[in-house]
Amino acid sequence: MYRKVLIVATKVIKKDISLTDIEETLRNIREYERIRLPNSFRLGGLGIESALSQLIITWARAQKDMGELHTYLSDIGDLNTEKFLKNMAGMTAAVMAPKITKVKHEQIERKEFLKGGVNIIDAMYQGRFSELHIGSSLLLSSISGADKRWLRCVFDEPRKVKKPTEMKGTVRDILSTIVPASGDKQRLSDIVTEGFIESIAWMVYELFQNTVDHAETDENGKSYFRTIGALRFNIQKVDQRDLVRIHHEFESLEANGLRIFELSVMDSGPGFARKWTGKGFDDLSIEEEKKAIRECFEKYKSTKKKDGRGVGLDNVLENLRQHNGFFRMRTGRLEVIKSYLSTYRVHNTINNMHEKAPVEGTLMSLFIPLRKGEKNG
């Protein structure tokens, strides 16, 4: 008598996964009933960990109640659990995966798993940044349903992100934590000006407030059961190849040893175009999607009829332009690239859009060069 063996399609995420690997996996995301994540990552490429986090959200939404996050954890509540949850991809998976299992496929209750990282969650809430960074990378997460969702270092009150003037203190404290960890052994004041800190504070305010305003319901206004909004701060040295991996337009840039500051803001909402138009992918043409993205970056545009604040993306672009930065945005079926690395590119028009596999949520990764011996800002 033969025993029937159930074969489950599993995607094993490698420690050194690349942006190309992520995009290839997204094309076949519905095939994988199980994703296996390592306890820690060697995500050296710019924006890689954030892109992997968006892949996990997309996978979880595609699998609905069936998907299994398979970890290498044998015990919950040890240092490996904390290490797992300090990573953007790990925390995202813990929040969004329909089912979570330990190394021997023993199921873990989500609340039990997150309790294993209670020190991390409390440190995020209280703003104890020295307990949160992994090298020069630091994560802050706002999780739906959590008692400590509205992080004191980010929110003035529930649903209200701190204004830029108040956010400056949070940004300064985060940078003071990760700059020494980036290996340069310099003081923050030796690298950036108050103007730089103020610009980052504006970007955090505009982008993270959008995750609260626009990412908790789908395009039809129906509330999601589980949501996450996340901020990732990172500093790393790159070379030309690292930049070309993001987009070929950086092929001519001399970037060996260049330090890049990364701010990635991610949410688990429907994405810009679906929220903007109220249409799902089946009813939304790619041209309509591109048009919606362009409109999102125009001044005073908003999906809220009575909200004069707008989505504020024009302010983000202007701050990025002032610091000769660039960004990669992934939302819906589009990858959007915008660069101010070349001084002749001074306009804020959004034209560089590439059709990709559909994703859930919106990921905006902003990158600003920190040139050695040259104070930024």
Residues ≥6 apart with Cβ < 8 Å to 269: 211, 214, 215, 216, 217, 218, 224, 227, 275, 360, 361, 362
- CA 328, CA 367: separation in Å to the nearest integer? 8
Residue range 69-113, pLDDT digits in tens: 999 998 887 778 988 999 999 999 999 999 999 999 899 999 999
Asked whether 367 and 46 are in contact (CB, 8 A), the reply is: yes
Q: What is the mean pLDDT of residues 4-27?
A: 83
- CA 358, CA 336: separation in Å to the nearest integer? 13
Cβ count near 187 (within 10 Å): 10
- Start-to-end CA distance of the chain, whole Å, equals 73
Residue 197 has pLDDT above 70, yes or no: yes
**Which is more confidently placed, 304 or 87?**
87
Lowest mean pLDDT segment, chosen from 48-62, 172-186, 314-328, 358-372: 172-186
- Mean pLDDT of all residues in the chain? 87
* Residue 304 exposed, middle or buried by CB count within 10 Å (0-12, 13-18, 19+): exposed
How far from 89 is each of 43, 54, 224, CA to CA, in Å? 10, 8, 19
Note the pLDDT of residue 75.
85
Note the pLDDT of residue 372.
54
Residue 265 has pLDDT above 90, yes or no: yes
Asked whether 358 and 373 are in contact (CB, 8 A), the reply is: no
CA-based nearest residue to 341, from 377, 367, 312: 367
Q: What is the mean pLDDT of residues 171-176?
A: 96
Note the pLDDT of residue 182.
73
Residue 297 has pLDDT above 90, yes or no: no
How far from 316 is each of 198, 207, 297, CA to CA, in Å? 12, 8, 9
**Which is more confidently placed, 158 or 376?**
158
Note the pLDDT of residue 376.
73
Note the pLDDT of residue 266.
98
Note the pLDDT of residue 15.
85
Q: What is the mean pLDDT of residues 29-58?
A: 89
Residue 5 has pLDDT above 50, yes or no: no
Residue 219 has pLDDT above 60, yes or no: yes
Asked whether 178 and 136 are in contact (CB, 8 A), the reply is: yes
Half-sphere exposure of 238 (CA within 13 A, CB side): 28
SS3 category, 56: helix
Per-domain residue ranges of the chain: 10-370
Residue 44 has pLDDT above 70, yes or no: no
User: What are the backbone dihedrals phi and psi of residue 248, each rounded to the nearest 5 degrees, phi first?
Assistant: -65, -15
The alpha-carbon radius of gyration of the chain (Å, integer) is 20
Asked whether 334 and 306 are in contact (CB, 8 A), the reply is: no
Give me the residues paired with residue 155 across strands.
Answer: 161
Lowest mean pLDDT segment, chosen from 1-10, 87-96, 339-348, 359-368: 1-10
Residue 251 has pLDDT above 70, yes or no: no
b/e per residue 61-86 (b: at least 16 CB within 10 A)? bbbeeebbbbbebeebeeebbbbbbb
How much of the chain exceeds pLDDT 90, in percent?
60
Half-sphere exposure of 45 (CA within 13 A, CB side): 22
- CA 328, CA 332: separation in Å to the nearest integer? 13
SS3 category, 250: helix
pTM of the model: 0.92
* Residue 59 exposed, middle or buried by CB count within 10 Å (0-12, 13-18, 19+): buried
Residue range 108-162, pLDDT digits in tens: 999 999 988 899 999 999 999 999 999 899 999 999 988 999 999 999 999 999 9
